[in-house]
Structure 1
Amino acid sequence: MQREVGMANVAFLGMGVMGAPMAGHLAAAGHAVTVFNRTAAKAESWVADHKGKAATTPREAALGCEIVMACVGNDDDLRGVCLGDDGAFAGMTEGSLFIDHTTVSAEVTRELAAAAVEKGIAWVDAPVSGGQAGAENGQLVIMCGGAQEDYDRAEPVMAAFAKLSQRMGDVGAGQLTKMVNQICIAGLMQGLSEAMNFAQKAGLDGEAVVDVIQGGAAGSWQMVNRHKTMLAGEYEHGFAVDWMRKDLAICLAEAENVGASLPGTALIDQYYKDVQAMGGGRWDTSSLMARLKKLSD
């Protein structure tokens, strides 16, 4: 079957809770998608649901693809899928494009972008915000770093799962913007946790409180989407504390590099460490409220 004009051969590396639905949107949009996952069963399951192909190595996935995308775990995972004899770079051709949706350090982004350029491969760092629900609904916000011409190639393909994408500057700017995003979320989550815990302790109807204040200056996405589960003490969903601590470590390290002070972020990172000690490493980031309830009960 002939592909529609504008469609691409795309490899997607990483079939986690974010990557699998993102790749699914690409396939639904008409792109020819080959997937890779370290646990092969996840890639095979994706193929069963979306057609396309599964590859046994990143290199195999990248062969013949104009664009390779990745959404993996951390800096080392990203290096692992890019470099080496079985890495994606080994299978990519000159003039192809690598788009990284992983949240990683600006350091590894610049390192791998430089390695890509040596092989004639273009690079766009493109971390996302919106969580699992955003990935599943094709409503992610994407913050990008890279040359304008490379972003212009990436944007129409990313549109399959994006509510908004924007180029923030040269390579690394996307990751720096994602750090700003995570710093904001950490502060919002702590403030919302304190507020909801206070409302309950004061004998207020938390739902009624949110109904009143969410339309004013205190309103936020976190308030609208997390207050019900927080009031119910339910945290088995959403963006895991373990991943948030990984992201905040990146933020704190980069703050040292650029000379920025993040005292609140550093403190909240330790609060998340307390949540991990409570057994909540896989709980949603809104579980800061569980820590407060434990302290006040």
Structure 2
Amino acid sequence: MVHIRELDSTASPLDYYGFELRRKREEAGLTQRELANVVFCTGSLIGQIETARKVPQRDLSERLDVALGTDGFFSRLVGLVLRSQLPSWFQPYAEMEAQATYISTYQAQLIYGLLQTEGYARALLATGVREGLDQLVAARMERQRILDREQAPITLVVLDEATLHRPIGGREIMREQLEHLLALQRHRWLRVQVLPFSAGEHASLAGSFNVLRFSDHPDIVYTEDVISGHMTADRITVREAALRYASLQAAALSTEDSAALIAGVMEERYGDEPGTDQRAVA
């Protein structure tokens, strides 16, 4: 007799997803293999999701909704499931980020998470994890969906020029990432500026930070150290961060000049035939 693992649907979003998938599949009178054939996956994958051993992806969740007639239930639930895969110390920030109406960020070392390609995110996250990489990458891609909402947050990004030169994942991944940054410049609610090396000393040499604004909540400043992240709504800290960010924007290139710099670095450092001069493009 096959032993079926019983789930506590309240244990986690992943357990709840698995519990509901099994329940709705059985209500539809389908075996795991029959459902898998309809949604173009394996019966084993359906079984692993139903027992909370595998994290579902968004595209599969959308197909499940169609196959089971669940009116977007799994498509809505998968966002919660994927966010639950983020590091526990990061989850509170991700929840606040998803509610923000205005995001401003300065990034000194890396491309901002909401702007990362899947390849860049995978190469970056692989440096710090031994398992669960696919789930972390999927969770990061899920975060980016806030930029595609009808009421997307106004997002202002200042990237240090160093972020363009650091070859995360290799030449092809970096070229794709910089192409993605250029494409994002067409986004109505998003602006990307580059702080060039020529700016010299500036207002945030100490490192990266984010400021979140809300329609019904105090502003929040978020910073990270090597281990975890920190949020604060302290008014003095928020005012200081706002002043520093205004200084960074003033020192950064315009969006047009930033796009030209990104394109120049992309061709010089990550083109098909890179030149021998790997210095910054002025």
State the TM-score, normalized to the length of structure 2.
0.31
Q: Higher Cα Rg: structure 1 or 2?
A: 2
What is the TM-score with the length of structure 1 in the denominator?
Answer: 0.29
Higher RCO by CA contacts (8 Å cutoff, separation 6 or greater): 2
